[in-house]
Amino acid sequence: MRLQFTLVRSRTPARNPETLFQLIAAANHRVTILGADVSLQGSTPGTAPVVFQFLIQTDAGTPGTSPTTLTPQKNDRGYDETIQTTFSAFDGTGSPANPAGTTKIAEFSLHEQGLFPWRPPFPFVVKGGERIGLNYARASFVPVSVTLYCEE
């Protein structure tokens, strides 16, 4: 079943780098990452790019004082299966702590006025029970929108 979810973040993160969201594959249930669309809504043309990293993470971290559980949309509307994959958005408030884990899957840079359709060279499989997160690294925050495409 193909899924997608969108995260729009306009609040300044509490740390740099900051985890924007974490995908958690259900136990004994794989998730295939098909790609993501990332856009930034900045206004300064001459600034340094924002660095994004997809990382395998080993714990949940502390998502902040108002974390959000994201509800993915089914792209295959005819399926009756219950979505097993969970998504948590880190809100950057309070005293969040990034999840542990530094195994980098992918890294890309994007200018603050840009849009980047990231597609891995081959689909990346998240094993059952594993976590993957998207980190955002930049000294000053720019509002970001991320749509992740996956299949379970």
Q: How confident is the model over 66-124, as pLDDT tens digits?
A: 556 777 777 777 777 888 888 887 766 655 677 777 688 888 888 888 888 988 888 88
Q: How confident is the model at residue 127 (pLDDT cuts 50, 70, 90)?
A: very high
Q: Which positions ≥6 away from 109 have C-beta within 8 Å?
A: 49, 50, 51, 52
Domain count, the chain: 1
With 80 as the cut, is the pLDDT of residue 4 above it? no
**45-76 core/surface letters (b: 16 or more CB in 10 A; e: else):** eeeeebebbbbbbeeebebbeebeebebeeee
Tokens representing 1 are: 């079943």
CB 73 within 8 A of CB 5: yes
User: Structure pTM?
Assistant: 0.82
Reported as a single tens digit per residue, the pLDDT across 27-55 is 999 999 998 999 888 888 778 888 888 99
pLDDT for residue 30: 92
Is pLDDT at 128 greater than 90 in this prediction?
yes
Region class of 14: left (phi > 0), else alpha (psi between -120 and 50), else beta: alpha
Domain that holds residue 119: 2-151
* Secondary structure (DSSP) of the chain: -EEEEEEEE-SPPSSSSEEEEEEEPPTT--EEEEEEEEEE----TTSPPEEEEEEEESS--B--SS-EEE-PEESSTT--PPP--EEEE----SS-BPPS--EEEEEEEE-TT-EEEE--SSPEEEPTT-EEEEEEE-SS---EEEEEEEE-
pLDDT of residue 60: 76
pLDDT at residue 93, rounded to an integer: 62
Predicted pLDDT of residue 10: 67
- Taking residues 7-34, what's their average pLDDT? 80
Of 56 and 14, the structure prediction assigns the larger pLDDT to 56
pLDDT of residue 14 exceeding 70, the answer is: no
CATH number of the domain encompassing residue 47: 2.60.120
Q: What is the pLDDT of residue 140?
A: 73
